[in-house]
A and B are shown apart, each in its own frame.
Chain A
Amino acid sequence: MADAASEVVAVAVTDPGKPAGRTRSLSSTLAMATAALLSSTGSQAGFLSDDADWQVSAGLLVYNEQDRVSAVEPVISARKSLDTDEFLNLKLTIDTLTGASATGAVSADLPQTFTRPSGNGQYRIGADSTPLDDTFKDTRVTLNAGWERPVAEELTLTLGTALSKEYDYLSLGLSSGLARDINGGNTTLSGGFSASFDASEPVGGEPVPFAAMQPSGTEQIRQGSGSDKQVYDAIFGVTQIIDQRSLFQLNYSISHSSGYLNDPYKFISVVDPVTGNPVFENGDQVDLPTVAYENRPDTRTKHSLYAQYKISLDDRILDTSYRFLTDDWGINSHTLDFRYRIPLSKGRYWQPHLRYYRQSAADFYTPFYIGENRPAAGDSSSTGSADYRLGELTGMTVGLEFGRRTTSSGWSVAAEYYLQSGDEPDNKFGALSSQTLYPDVDIFFLRFVRDF
C-alpha cells in the first residue's frame, strides 16, 4: 500500500507539464488510486470513483536535519463534490524517518556509552559530542477522511476522522465543526471540537520515571508495555471580509491532553556537583553514565489565539499571521509568519516566506540534574525533562516558493531553511562550562505540490 502510493506521488511531482487531456486522465487515475487506498472495500472504491469530478492534490516533502533526522513524506489528497456544497475529503500521508535523535543527555569531555531503547545493544558518543541515538527509524501512515455539507441556510457541518499508525504509536481521531455565514456572507462564525485517542508502545517498554539506564543485555527498569493519551481540542473563530481586497481571521482554541505525555526515549544526565562531569557509577559498565528517564505532568492545557490577515496589493498577495500560545506547563510562545506572493507572467509566481518562533521553557525543563537533586526512581509525583524542545528556544525559517497556477491546475516547488537556536543554561559549571548543551539545529527541506 505504501509503495503504490509512493509511486503515484512520484509520478505526480515529476511530470508537471502535460496536455490537458492527459491531466484529466491522470487526475482520474489518482482519484481512483486514492479512493482505493482509503477505502476498506472494493465496492466503496467503485462508488467513490464513479464520477471523474475530483480535485486531487499531491505533495512530497524531503526533510533533512544536519547530522540528525531525515524524512521523506509523500501525501495525496482528493476532494469530491457529492452534491451542491457537499464534499468528501480524503487524504493519505506516509512519513518515513531515519537518523539520529537527541536523547537529552549532556555532552561531556569524556566518552559515554548508552544502551539502546530495546535494552539490547549500545551506542558510543565521543568526547565533546551531543548524545544522539542513531537508531531512530519509523514509518508513519496517516489516513484522514472528512465530509462537509450544508445543514441549514448559511450553516455548514463538517465531520472528520483520522487514523495514524507508526511502529510504536497509534492514534485515532474524530472531529466536527460548524460554520455559519452571516452579514451577507461577509462574516463567518465557526466552532469545532476534536478528540484524539492515542496509544504508545515504546520499544523496550515504558521506562520507570527517573530510573537509571542499565547496561546493555541486562534487564531495564520498566513499568509495562505502554500507556494511552487523550487529547481534546475546541476552536472558535471569526472570519471577516474587510473590503474588496482583504480579509482576516481570528481563532481562539483550547486543547487539553491527559495520560502518558512523556517521551519514553528521553532522559536526563546526572552530573557530579563538584566536577560537572557526568556521574559514572555503574559497576558493570564503567563508561555508562547515570541518566534518569524523564517524567512530565500527566495533563496539559493549552490556550492559543491565532490571527491571520490577507491582502491583495494590486496582483501581489501578503499573507501574514500571528499566534500566541500559553499552557499550564509554563510555556508561552509567539509565532509570526509572512508569505508574499509576487506574480509573473502565465500564472507563474514567486513567494518568499519568513517565519519567526520564540518559546519560553517548560517549568520542569532541566538540562541536567546535579548529584542528589535527581528525584528517586519511580517518583511519579516529580517532573523533569531535558528534551530541548521544551527549553527556551528560537526558530527562524526562510523560504522561497516558485510555482504556476492556471484556472484548472497548478504546481509549486519550495526550498526552506529552518534554524533552531536554544539558550545555553545559565547554571553550567565545572566541566560543563566548556560544553555546548543546546546546539543549533539546522534543517533544510524541499516541498513539491501538484494540484490536478
Chain B
Amino acid sequence: MQQQIIDMTTMTLRRPAARAVMSLAAIIWLSGCSSLGVNPWERGTLAKPEMALDSQPIVSALDDHIYFSKEASSGGRSFGGGGCGCN
C-alpha cells in the first residue's frame, strides 16, 4: 500500500498544478523565510479582521460541511476527519 501511495504521488507531481505548489514551497524554503516579513508597526493592513486567513470561520465550517457531503475530499485548511454520517 505504501508503495502505491509513493507511486501515485510521483505520478501526480507531473501535473502542472501540483508542480506549481511544490515549486512555490521550494522557493520559500530556499529563499528562507527570514527574507520575508515586516516590522510590527507595519502590520496595520494585515491586522484587519478581513485579512485573517480564516476571516469567516462560520462560513468556512458551513461550506466545508456541504463539500464534505458531496465530494470525496475534505480537510486541507484544517482537520478533515469524521463527525458525520453523510459521507
Q: For residues 172 through 207 of chain A, which have their beta carbon under 8 Å from a beta carbon of chain B?
A: 173, 175, 183-187, 192, 194-198, 200
The answer for the CA separation of A245 and B76 in the assembled complex, in Å, is 24
Asked if A333 contacts B71 (CB within 8 A), the reply is yes
Does B25 touch A at the CB level, under 8 Å?
Answer: yes
Asked if B34 contacts A183 (CB within 8 A), the reply is yes
Does A350 touch B at the CB level, under 8 Å?
Answer: no
Which residue of A244, A303, A357 is within 8 Å of B71 (Cβ)? A357
Asked if A233 contacts B5 (CB within 8 A), the reply is no
Asked if A244 contacts B43 (CB within 8 A), the reply is yes
Does A247 touch B at the CB level, under 8 Å?
Answer: yes
The answer for the CA separation of A329 and B8 in the assembled complex, in Å, is 11
Which residue of A91, A239, A359 is within 8 Å of B73 (Cβ)? A359
Mask of A107-144 contacts with B, CB within 8 angstroms, 1/0: 00000000000000000000000000000000010100
Interface with B: A249-257, A283-291, A372-380, A424-432, which one?
A249-257
Asked if A73 contacts B84 (CB within 8 A), the reply is no
B73 CB to closest chain A CB, in angstroms? 4
The answer for the CA separation of A335 and B76 in the assembled complex, in Å, is 10
Q: For residues 29 through 56 of chain B, which have their beta carbon under 8 Å from a beta carbon of chain A?
A: 33-34, 36-40, 42-46, 48-51, 53, 55-56
Complex contacts, A306 vs chain B, CB 8 Å: 76-77
Asked if A308 contacts B65 (CB within 8 A), the reply is no
Asked if B51 contacts A312 (CB within 8 A), the reply is yes
Closest A residue to B84 by CB, please name it.
A164
Asked if B62 contacts A187 (CB within 8 A), the reply is no
Q: For residues 400 through 452 of chain A, which have their beta carbon under 8 Å from a beta carbon of chain B?
A: 405, 412, 414, 418, 420, 441, 443, 445, 447, 449
Asked if A194 contacts B81 (CB within 8 A), the reply is yes
Interface on chain A toward B: helix, strand, loop, or mixed SS? strand
Asked if B42 contacts A194 (CB within 8 A), the reply is no
The answer for the CA separation of A349 and B77 in the assembled complex, in Å, is 25
Interface with B: A23-31, A43-51, A215-223, A319-327, which one?
A319-327
The answer for the CA separation of A359 and B74 in the assembled complex, in Å, is 12
Closest B residue to A445 by CB, please name it.
B66
- Number of residues on chain A facing chain B (CB within 8 A): 99
Complex contacts, A183 vs chain B, CB 8 Å: 33-34, 37
Asked if B62 contacts A229 (CB within 8 A), the reply is no
Mask of A306-318 contacts with B, CB within 8 angstroms, 1/0: 1110101000010
Complex contacts, B72 vs chain A, CB 8 Å: 327, 329, 331, 333, 359, 362, 389-390
Closest A residue to B40 by CB, please name it.
A185
Asked if B62 contacts A173 (CB within 8 A), the reply is no
Asked if B58 contacts A449 (CB within 8 A), the reply is yes
A266 CB to closest chain B CB, in angstroms? 11
Complex contacts, B57 vs chain A, CB 8 Å: 57, 77
- Number of residues on chain B facing chain A (CB within 8 A): 55
Asked if A405 contacts B49 (CB within 8 A), the reply is yes
Complex contacts, A196 vs chain B, CB 8 Å: 81-83
The answer for the CA separation of A54 and B65 in the assembled complex, in Å, is 25
Asked if A173 contacts B61 (CB within 8 A), the reply is no
Asked if A418 contacts B82 (CB within 8 A), the reply is no
The answer for the CA separation of A447 and B78 in the assembled complex, in Å, is 21
Asked if B50 contacts A240 (CB within 8 A), the reply is no
The answer for the CA separation of A249 and B45 in the assembled complex, in Å, is 17
Asked if B81 contacts A186 (CB within 8 A), the reply is no
The answer for the CA separation of A68 and B69 in the assembled complex, in Å, is 13
Complex contacts, B21 vs chain A, CB 8 Å: 305, 307, 322, 324
Asked if A186 contacts B77 (CB within 8 A), the reply is no
Complex contacts, B24 vs chain A, CB 8 Å: 250, 307
Asked if B85 contacts A169 (CB within 8 A), the reply is yes
Which residue of B18, B62, B83 is within 8 Å of A61 (Cβ)? B62
Asked if A173 contacts B81 (CB within 8 A), the reply is yes
Asked if A240 contacts B37 (CB within 8 A), the reply is yes
Given contacts A140-B84, A164-B84, A244-B43, 10 further A-B contacts (CB under 8 A): A58-B58, A142-B83, A171-B84, A173-B83, A175-B79, A194-B79, A251-B77, A312-B48, A317-B50, A322-B21
A-B contact pairs, 7 of them (CB 8 A): A73-B65, A241-B38, A244-B44, A245-B45, A253-B76, A253-B80, A302-B73
Smallest CB-CB A-B distances: 5 pairs: A186-B37, A169-B85, A306-B76, A196-B82, A323-B76
Using CB atoms and an 8 Å cutoff, list the residues of chain A in contact with chain B: 57-59, 61, 63, 73, 75, 77, 91, 93, 95, 140, 142, 162, 164, 166, 168-169, 171, 173, 175, 183-187, 192, 194-198, 200, 229, 231-233, 235, 238-245, 247, 249-251, 253, 255, 257, 263, 301-308, 310, 312, 317, 319, 321-335, 341, 357, 359, 362, 389-390, 393, 395, 405, 412, 414, 418, 420, 441, 443, 445, 447, 449
Using CB atoms and an 8 Å cutoff, list the residues of chain B in contact with chain A: 1, 4-5, 8-9, 12, 17-18, 21, 24-25, 28, 33-34, 36-40, 42-46, 48-51, 53, 55-59, 61-62, 65-67, 70-73, 75-85, 87
